[in-house]
Amino acid sequence: MKSQSVLVLGGTGTVGSSLVADLAGKGVDVAAATRDPSKFRKLAGVRAVRFDYTDASTFPSALEGVEKVFVMLPPGQTAADRLLGPFLDAALARVRRVVTMTAAGVEMDEGIPLRKVERIVERSGVAWTHIRPSWFMQNFHTFWMGSIRAAGSIALPAADARTAFIDARDIAACAAAALAGEGHAGKAYTLTGQEALTYGEAAAILTRETGRRIVYQPVDDETFRAALLAAGLPADYAGFLVGLFGTVRAGFAARVTPDVQQILGRPGRTLTEYARDHKALFGVV
Ligand SMILES: NC(=O)c1ccc[n+]([C@@H]2O[C@H](COP(=O)([O-])OP(=O)(O)OC[C@H]3O[C@@H](n4cnc5c(N)ncnc54)[C@H](OP(=O)(O)O)[C@@H]3O)[C@@H](O)[C@H]2O)c1
């Protein structure tokens, strides 16, 4: 086994899959965590390891030979510190480097579960880096794709507030730099795109670049909550998302930071670049 083996949680996910490829491209030995390694697409330098944060029996083999860990929690959870606690106990006792992906703004309230995850990592004595991304551009082809396909619209309670959307590939590139490079220990980065757009502006860009007509429909909190519940989200997570859009309307998501440029030496991708690269996913080719 090569040195510097990195375990990537969420190795099949939006950020994790890109991170796995970036690290392998840097010659790092990568263990991609997934609940089902048999479905993992083969990639040189990458081994898929079975990992389920709800099943502690998967931790020892996932951590075998691992020196560094990328920690993330899948979306849809409101108790990140409790859910990740058992894995963090196991991992922090044996690795020497952790990069945690949480979310922009978690540092504003020590009671936020993802901030508690960061604090657990900080207190462990292991060298850490926190990456705190803004809203992902990729949400347009994941979370919001259902209503784009069904109604040609994105219905959100964001009013006309701006969001500095970030491309998940840039988040992954920053995580790869922190895991494989030097000079990032003890730092917390807020990762944003280079421009803050309203959802109306974003919808216009997506329409122009993908050829699919997409409009932004501002809705109130209760309309949004009802749509989330109808889509099957649990009430606590629906409430969490409603609250998050309150922070968007208050302007907190509009902040553009220089962190991606500082880490990568280039600005983050624009929404136009994202839309061009993902045009096929919008169903118009
Ligand atoms: N979307 C945004 O705008 C945004 C903004 C800021 C922060 N964030 C944060 O980013 C995180 C989500 O990142 P993402 O979008 O890259 O995730 P994602 O694409 O939804 O990936 C989910 C990953 O979690 C894995 N997974 C699911 N259940 C699991 C379990 N029980 N045990 C172990 N792994 C499991 C899945 O792997 P398998 O199915 O292969 O097991 C998959 O690789 C969240 O913590 C969210 O708070 C998101």
Per-residue pLDDT tens over the stretch 258-279: 999 999 999 999 999 999 999 9
My answer on whether 118 and 161 are in the same domain is: no
Domain boundary among 89, 117, 133: 133
Residue 231 lies in a domain: yes
Q: What total of structural domains would you count in the chain?
A: 2
Quick one: tokens of 264?
A: 């990568």
User: Residue 11 Cα, ligand 1 centroid: separation in angstroms?
Assistant: 9
Print the domain residue range for 64.
6-133
Residues 16, 83, single domain; the answer is yes
Cα 252 to averaged position of ligand 1 atoms, centre (Å) = 23
Number of H helices, E strands in the chain: 11, 11
Distances (CA, A) of 2 to 5, 130, 169, 265, 280: 7, 25, 25, 28, 37
Rounded to an integer, what distance in angstroms lies between the CA atom of residue 185 and that of residue 203? 38
Among 43, 72, 99, residue to substitute to test ligand 1 (most atoms within 8 Å of Cβ): 72
Residue 12: which CATH number? 3.40.50.720
In-domain check, residue 186: no
Centre a 10 Å sphere on the Cβ of residue 221 and count the other Cβ atoms it contains.
15
Closest by CA position to 205, among listed 173, 246, 167, 243: 167
Indicate if 140 and 245 belong to the same structural domain: yes
Confidence of residue 283 (pLDDT cuts 50, 70, 90): confident
Q: Are residues 18 and 153 in the same domain?
A: no
Taking the C-alpha atoms of residue 80 and residue 147, their distance in angstroms, rounded to an integer, is 28
Question: Do 154 and 90 share a domain, yes or no?
Answer: no
Which pLDDT value is given to residue 68? 98
Is 51 a pocket residue for ligand 1 (Cβ < 6 Å)? Answer: yes
Q: Confirm or reject: Cβ of 166 under 6 Å from ligand 1.
A: no
Distance in angstroms (rounded) separating the CA atoms of residues 44 and 257: 34
Same domain, 101 and 143: no
pLDDT the model gives residue 4: 67
pLDDT score, position 1: 45
Distance from Cα 13 to the centre of ligand 1, integer Å: 6
Helices within 102-231 (DSSP H only): 113-123, 145-151, 168-180, 199-210, 221-230
Q: Report pLDDT digits (tens) over 229-245.
A: 999 999 999 999 999 99
Establish whether residue 19 lines the binding site of ligand 1, counting it when its CB lies within 6 angstroms of any ligand atom.
no
104 in the same domain as 44: yes
Domain harbouring 242, CATH code: 3.90.25.10
- 164 touches ligand 1 (CB under 6 Å): no
- Which amino acid is residue 31, in one-letter code? A
Strand partners, 31: 7, 47
- pLDDT tens digits, one per residue of 9-23: 999 999 999 999 999
Q: What is the rounded end-to-end Cα distance, in angstroms, of the chain? A: 43
Query: Ligand 1: does its nearest atom lie under 6 Å from the Cβ of 190?
Result: no
Tokens standing for residue 113: 């579960």
Residue located nearest, by CA, to atom 36 of ligand 1? 10
pLDDT tens-digit profile of 28-75?
999 999 999 999 988 998 999 999 999 999 999 999 999 999 999 999
Residues 160 and 236 in one domain: yes
Residues 142 and 226 reside in one and the same domain = yes
Does the beta carbon of 70 sit less than 6 angstroms from any atom of ligand 1? no
With 0.95 as the threshold, say if the pTM is over it: yes
- Report whether residue 274 contacts ligand 1, using a CB cutoff of 6 Å: no
113 and 220 in one domain?
A: no
Specify if 213 maps to a domain: yes
**Does ligand 1 have an atom closer than 6 angstroms to the CB of 53?**
yes
Q: Are residues 103 and 147 in the same domain?
A: no
Examine the pLDDT at 285 and tell me if it is beyond 80: no
Has residue 1 been placed in a domain?
no
Any residues with CB less than 8 A from the CB of 133 and at least 6 apart, and which?
15, 101, 103, 104, 166, 168, 171, 190, 191, 192
Q: How confident is the model at residue 82 (pLDDT cuts 50, 70, 90)?
A: very high
Q: Quick one: 110 and 212 in the same domain?
A: no
